Amino acid sequence: MDLNGKKILLGITGGIAAYKSCELLRLLQKKGAQVRVAMTEEATRFVAPLTFASLSKCPVYLKDGAVEARPFQHIDFPRWADLYIVVPCTANAIGKFAYGLADDPVSLCFMSCTCPRLLAPAMNVAMYNSPAVKRNLETLRSFENTYVLESPAGELACGEVGSGRLMEPADIVSFIEGGSLPLAPAACHPRDFSCHPRAGGDLLAASATPSSGGHPRNAPAAPLASDSLPEQDPSLPGHGRRVLITAGRTEEAIDPVRYISNRSSGKTAVALASVFLANGYSVEVVAGPMEAQFPGGATVHRVRSACEMHQAVMERLPQVQALVHCAAVADYRPKEAAAEKIKDSRNQLVLELVPNPNILRDSVAAKKPDQVVVGFALETDHFAEHAQEKLKKSGADALLLNAPVAKDSGFGFDCVNYALVTPAADGSEAAVPEMQLGSKVELAETVVGFICGRLGAPQKAK
């Protein structure tokens, strides 16, 4: 199924996997689809509506409405769409859909929708396997033009393992492209509309003809070229600005098959990239090995070792206005990596280690006065003391202190304990705020908000 020119309504409900909908939206746009968003009130606690409004270039349909909202969004949005997808779809939303309850934007759109509907469940394994959810899913599968995706098994946000994970955004797009969804135009489009960025005005414009530009069918996932990105709103704080993010982990070779590394999944960097993109920044990433996938629109440069990451960052630093050091870089590497696999002799093996370059300190030393550099400090004890020491030694403009030691948070999870630490104006010891447990998207919004404040309003072109 060719998605070029298709109109897709994306419903988002209140699950921790809501942040993945940012990536899904970008992937759909990359295929040439127009995307509009409806959110439940619970979903807005995981990802700010501004993120989706910025990415889609259209106001988000919210329960409380907005200044630029139309009075019949619950009818207009689903009738505009060729396909309605709910990602993630929580147990609560599934129950509402099955029993015809409609008291929020997502369920109202489901009720009035006449085009095909695709649901991607995401919840705890116990909830997913409960008799009520199973019954409700079977009910929904019996509905005309309603399709329910399977929830793959794996590690869940709560730390348990089992079914209930959200299908990965790239797999959802592949299903839509390769499936047999009858994406015919909806039966009734009495008030068809399109959205365009218009600074200081209503984002809803008169109906427009979908683009007929060529987007190759089943094209592999890759960052969007700059000329294929949606036109940026010049009022966004990142308009005309570029940010560089380090991501993932580094691997320091011991021999051809072994290395020194850590458990970083890259999820925090993906959240940062998504929020920066939503705020109008051009995003470049220097990424070591990682599991999480970046949203379309981010330009990713792959590296493996700390030395490679150091070189890539220093080469790109002069071209950016902000740099965020999110990667978990190994402090040491073997002095010499064996050319052949080290044989198991059961004798004691001694590795001589040497320090890796300090990418944060070197980038601070090389930065220009109008650039902003934010470092990350991952600590497991004596949080305040270690954060104060690292901030002072590095000279960074701010340090994001995070601790992966709380239950069900940190590496591989969607939540983390964090606090943003900034130098004291009088040169005294930096005050360390109390850490809070929040989503990695909330963490990203904190970092992006700080950088936007430091850089100020974008300069208007002369």
State pLDDT tens for residues 76-120.
788 889 999 999 999 999 999 999 999 999 999 999 998 999 999
pLDDT tens for 196-250 read 333 222 222 222 222 323 222 222 222 222 333 334 557 788 989 999 999 999 9
Q: Does residue 267 share a domain with residue 362? A: yes
Rounded to the nearest angstrom, the gap between the alpha carbon of residue 346 and the centroid of all alpha carbons in its chain is: 45
- Mean pLDDT value across the chain: 80
Range of the domain at 118: 7-205
Q: Do residues 285 and 197 share a domain? A: no
* Total H helices, total E strands in the chain: 13, 21
Q: What is the pLDDT of residue 158?
A: 57
Q: 185 and 138 in one domain?
A: yes
Task: Indicate if 251 and 303 belong to the same structural domain.
Answer: yes
Residue among 111, 106, 110 at smallest CA distance from 43:
106
Say which of 22, 58, 109, 158 is annotated catalytic. Answer: 158
Is residue 223 a part of any domain in this protein?
A: no
Same domain, 259 and 354: yes
Give me 413's structure tokens.
Answer: 């999870």
357 exposure class (CB count in 10 Å sphere: 0-12, 13-18, 19+): middle
**146 and 58 co-located in one domain:** yes
pLDDT value of position 194? 41
Q: Single out the residue in 205, 220, 247 at which a domain terminates.
A: 205
In a domain, 360, yes or no: yes
- Boundary residue ending a domain (143, 171, 205): 205
142 and 257 within one domain? no
For the segment 303-334, what is each residue's pLDDT rounded down to a tens digit?
999 999 999 999 999 999 999 999 999 989 99
Here the CATH number for the domain that contains residue 315 is 3.40.50.10300
pLDDT at 161: 63
Spell 209-248 as b/e; 16+ CB within 10 A means b: eeeeeebeeeeebebbeeeebbebbeebbbbebbbbbbbb
Instruction: Please tell me the total count of domains within the chain.
Output: 2
What does pTM read for this prediction? 0.55
Q: Are residues 18 and 137 in the same domain?
A: yes
Does a structural domain hold residue 192? Answer: yes
Within a domain: 420 = yes
**What is the mean pLDDT, run by run of 10 residues, along the chain of 462 residues?**
90 92 93 93 89 83 58 68 94 93 92 92 88 93 91 66 80 84 43 36 26 28 31 73 96 90 84 86 94 80 96 97 95 90 74 93 96 89 84 93 60 73 85 84 90 83 46
The reply to whether 115 belongs to the active site is no
CA-wise closest residue to 219 among 147, 153, 296:
296
Structural element, H or E, at residue 184: none
Q: Confirm whether 305 is domain-assigned.
A: yes
